[in-house]
Amino acid sequence: QLQLQESGPGLVKPSETLTLTCSVSGDSVSNYYWSWIRQSPGKGLEWIGFIYYTGSTKYNPSLGGRVTTSLDTSKNHFFLTLNSVTAADTAVYYCARRIQPGSSPVFVFDIWGQGTLVTVSS
């Protein structure tokens, strides 16, 4: 059964770079599209971006070009990098699998990691 696990620093200083890892187990990272989603404390959900093993990526413009994603097939991991963080980037960060279930054209996030809280503070 596919499982996802986020890891990374719980505390990042303002203006620094945040890097998170999502470890994939139970299937190959090459088989699906993967997304990052975040949730600020007490707030709703914000889609950050997606990546496919071919290198195809798409990001939310709300992040102002500060985000990149990458993937390591040898380790079965994928990554999120967010530059120039501010307090507004404090959130729980989730990695998730994106699929099109059945014959539907719709994209969904059907499997999520447990999430990792990142606090931006000096």
Partner 1 sequence: DIQMTQSPSSLSASVGDRVTITCRASQNISPFVNWYQQKPGKVPRLLIFSISRLQSGVPSRFSGSESGTDFSLIISSLQPEDFATYYCQQTYTTPWTFGQGTRVDIK
Q: For tokens 């040898």, what's the residue?
A: 74
Residue 40 within binding range of partner 1, rule CB under 8 A? no
Q: For tokens 């093993």, what's the residue?
A: 53
Residue 53 within binding range of partner 1, rule CB under 8 A? no
Q: Is there a contact between 27 and 46 (Cβ–Cβ < 8 Å)?
A: no
Q: Which of 28, 75, 108, 119 binds partner 1 (CB under 8 A)?
A: 108
Nearer to partner 1, 21 or 92 (CB): 92
Query: Considering just the CA atoms, what is the radius of gyration of the chain in Å?
Result: 14
Residue 45 within binding range of partner 1, rule CB under 8 A? yes
Instruction: Return residues touching partner 1 (CB under 8 A).
Output: 44-47, 58, 60-62, 94, 101-102, 104-110, 112-115
